[in-house]
Amino acid sequence: MPKYAALLAAVGATIFVTASALAAPALPPPGPGEIVLAPLPALSLPAAATPHDYLAAAQTALAAGRTAEAQNALEHAETRALARSVRPSRAGIADANPLVATIAHARAALRAGDKTAAAAAIDAGLRLAK
């Protein structure tokens, strides 16, 4: 978001991200020219959810047309798939896990608006995550 700060300042806009009352105190209402971004939808998965669980949630959300929720679930799936133990000297080396690559492909397809390719990649990820 910082790279957009100068642009927003140039047009006189301010960004407010809304938060739930439980997570943060109430924010003041936005003023004229201010942009309000909706929070990402919460995923109703347990704390111990696996990449497969998040991929299944992404598949359901995408099928229902909830692309923001699908993107959020894919990000969680990728994070879970990336969780690994490595020596500190190897921490900077990219993970060669095919599941991670498949989830990244699904995320890229979804960002590009290609729901068919995203759905295919999610299906492939579900097969890999079993």
Question: Residue 70 has which token pair?
Answer: 């699908």
Judgement on whether residues 30 and 59 belong to the same structural domain of the protein: no
Predicted TM-score of the model (pTM): 0.67
For residue range 39-91, list pLDDT tens digits in order.
766 788 888 899 999 999 999 999 999 999 999 999 999 999 987 777 888 87
Distance CA 53, CA 122 (A): 11
Domain count, the chain: 2
Residue pair 81/100 in contact (Cβ under 8 Å)? The answer is yes
Judgement on whether residues 27 and 84 belong to the same structural domain of the protein: no
In a domain, residue 43? The reply is no
Q: What percent of the chain has pLDDT over 70?
A: 77
Question: Residue 28 has which token pair?
Answer: 């003041």
Phi-psi region of 5 (alpha: psi -120 to 50; beta: other; left: phi over 0): alpha
Residue pair 80/54 in contact (Cβ under 8 Å)? The answer is yes
Distance CA 92, CA 98 (A): 18
Q: What is the CA radius of gyration of the chain?
A: 18
Mean pLDDT of all residues belonging to the chain = 82
Question: Which structural domain range is residue 65 located in?
Answer: 51-129
Judgement on whether residues 114 and 57 belong to the same structural domain of the protein: yes
19-23, 48-52, 101-105, 120-124: segment of lowest average pLDDT: 19-23
Most confident option among 7-11, 65-69, 120-124: 120-124
